[in-house]
Structure 1
């Protein structure tokens, strides 16, 4: 089965093929069964609801060729081709699908995200408080918030290093990091501003002491580690009271810092960023990667942390990206004919096997699984 989709910002279209055996010469019944199978595969893989499938697959084939329209999730379904063999029929359809936000996130696993420590772009600004490792602690705080409160995403790794601020090729870095850490998305962050400003009290207000505020501007972007496309971008900034001695060193991970006015304001930013990231991936498909092939068993890089459960049924597929003559990206999904079932689940991985026991031919590490 072959499915092809356009950019996620536009309508997504899928081509799918279904087959059915012809019993006792009843070609029409087999034709309908093959068509229903093709429609189900396309809609389930795209994230459509069961209700939509049931409303679309019944009573379609009254004419030799058909075209239907439906509001909401499915805009258009067309019959492309049908081929009769000796004892079975193959039907191909094309569906233009607009997944509805309320439905497309309902059953997905959590998506794995990797990030790194965050650079302080103007490093000299960290001198006040000696907070040169603030970007490290910030990344760990974001991971903690995501693991505790995110519904659709899971920051499974914080790589213990700072990225080179001069390296602007984030797509290439995303490919490398995703492959290395078994993540689906790569979150980049940087501390754009970290300066302390002090306002001097006028002589007319001698009873007031000078006040200092610390500015914090954070910039984030997130990339799909398989396609290289950016799926999230955000900038957050605050200016909060800095009630510390400017010559005193402060532990970046201390309760003193995070319980202060500045720390509490930064916590709020962290919560907003994690919520925004979670919202941005809620309707994106959750893919797991095959990391090991052992006989007829496959190890995949998603597990209990992502919501995987023993007995879950998954679709195996290979994914490629290509560009058309106008340089627009398209994804091509090659679905494997055998579904797999989860036999064992661990914290970050799982083991799957063929449901029917048939050989999982041509499946290799770096192929994918999805629950559809």
Structure 2
């Protein structure tokens, strides 16, 4: 088996179930470089899978960009394809044949507003820190979180990510996550960061194991390492976990048992295990982005002045002057009650219009002078539906 490419392109993802389609292509090597032929064969195999699914994507539509990784490759293109797994690659009689499984999103548009979602990313911790002693990678959780933030920032235009240097909850609560815990922590994050979504989780397993392949004369023993990621996406305003997934990968551990690994060195991230970690993170990031795209945008009111209110959403999130929003309020009399018992009711006669917008904030007023604006901090605003 050869090693393959990590492919990344921007798309607007949708929150629907994808389906895996098999594609295959064969290309004669002749006098060309094998790496060039491999790229061509992978492109053609992806296009073949897309065609079987009814999506007309040619090999020329697929742009490949990335580093050599393990046998899992990932791609997103044209809003239809988001992941590719190389199933098999053979070279027989100077003909390279590639078989792929392609994760294809059905063409579908959800009833979603156009604004970028605001996300708080908290630190992912090791559930079993003792597993980090092999390689002395005790900083592994922080490194994984940073790379998750980087992938969300670089490759997911629908998400505005804020990385914080704290965990959402201690590892001791992993097996007993309940609503009361979530409600208290969610209310604090809303107050502090004025963002709707929180991404948190745990690194469940980074254990080492030996993989044994029986041979004619002697067994082939390789050292491999697990990577299991538990991911939760929380709507902090509604205090609901809207996505919970577990992701697993494993790769060759190319280092000695007692060797100290520098996690800031690219040599680690170019190793087989490092590439598996990045691929696994990318799978989680794609699913988070897909989920958030079709969820409603709601923002807490940051401040109120006579006739105006402010929200933490601005031009970088797609807000423009003249955009319209609705106001939601709670029947609970206090802010604490509002945040702990989130039952919101729309003010039926009030439409808010953006009068001034900055990079990360906007000032809204009533669009009808005959309808007064009566609001309080931690009331909610949501985009008004298009008429």
Alignment of structure 1 residues 122-271 onto 2, 5 Å: 122-155=128-161, 157-162=162-167, 163-167=169-173, 168=177, 169-199=181-211, 211-271=222-282
Residue ranges of structure 1 left out of the alignment (5+ in a row): 1-99, 322-328
* 3-state SS of paired residue (2:166): strand
- What is the Cα deviation at residue 118 of structure 1? 0.9
Alignment deviations for residues 46-92 of structure 1 (CA, whole Å, 9 cap, x no partner)? xxxxxxxxxxxxxxxxxxxxxxxxxxxxxxxxxxxxxxxxxxxxxxx
Q: Is the 8 A contact 1:290 1:367 kept in 2?
A: yes
Residue ranges of structure 2 left out of the alignment (5+ in a row): 1-106, 333-340
Q: Structure 1 residues 336 and 302 mapped into 2: Cα distance closer, same or farther (>3 Å)?
A: farther
Q: Structure 1 residues 204 and 286 mapped into 2: Cα distance closer, same or farther (>3 Å)?
A: same
Alignment of structure 1 residues 328-339 onto 2, 5 Å: 331-335=343-347, 337-339=349-351
Select the residue among 344, 353, 356 that pairs with 1:341: 353
Q: Structure 1 residues 312 and 154 mapped into 2: Cα distance closer, same or farther (>3 Å)?
A: same
Alignment of structure 1 residues 1-372 onto 2, 5 Å: 102-105=109-112, 107-155=113-161, 157-162=162-167, 163-167=169-173, 168=177, 169-199=181-211, 211-319=222-330, 331-335=343-347, 337-357=349-369, 360-372=372-384
* 3-state SS of paired residue (1:104): coil
- What is the Cα deviation at residue 347 of structure 1? 3.1
Q: Is the 8 A contact 2:209 2:224 kept in 1?
A: yes
Alignment deviations for residues 179-235 of structure 1 (CA, whole Å, 9 cap, x no partner)? 322111222210000112235798976797x52211011101122212212100100
Q: Structure 1 residues 247 and 330 mapped into 2: Cα distance closer, same or farther (>3 Å)?
A: closer
* 3-state SS of paired residue (1:361): coil
Give the distance between the partners of 2:282 and 2:366, measured in 1 at CA.
41
Give the distance between the partners of 2:370 and 2:143, measured in 1 at CA.
48
Alignment deviations for residues 235-291 of structure 1 (CA, whole Å, 9 cap, x no partner)? 001110111233222232331222211121111112211111122222221012210
Give the distance between the partners of 1:291 and 1:153, measured in 2 at CA.
20
Q: Is the 8 A contact 1:171 1:223 kept in 2?
A: no
Give the distance between the partners of 2:138 and 2:342, measured in 1 at CA.
42
Give the distance between the partners of 1:119 and 1:266, measured in 2 at CA.
15
RMSD of aligned alpha carbons: 2.9
* 3-state SS of paired residue (2:164): strand
Q: Structure 1 residues 286 and 211 mapped into 2: Cα distance closer, same or farther (>3 Å)?
A: same
Give the distance between the partners of 2:351 and 2:264, measured in 1 at CA.
46
Q: Is the 8 A contact 1:197 1:214 kept in 2?
A: yes
Worse overlay, 164-173 or 198-207: 198-207
Alignment deviations for residues 9-68 of structure 1 (CA, whole Å, 9 cap, x no partner)? xxxxxxxxxxxxxxxxxxxxxxxxxxxxxxxxxxxxxxxxxxxxxxxxxxxxxxxxxxxx
Q: Is the 8 A contact 2:237 2:342 kept in 1?
A: no
Give the distance between the partners of 2:132 and 2:244, measured in 1 at CA.
25
- What is the Cα deviation at residue 319 of structure 1? 4.6
Worse overlay, 261-270 or 351-360: 351-360
Give the distance between the partners of 2:213 and 2:295, measured in 1 at CA.
52
Alignment deviations for residues 107-141 of structure 1 (CA, whole Å, 9 cap, x no partner)? 33122121211110110111122211211121121
TM-score scaled by length of structure 2: 0.61
Give the distance between the partners of 2:131 and 2:261, measured in 1 at CA.
14
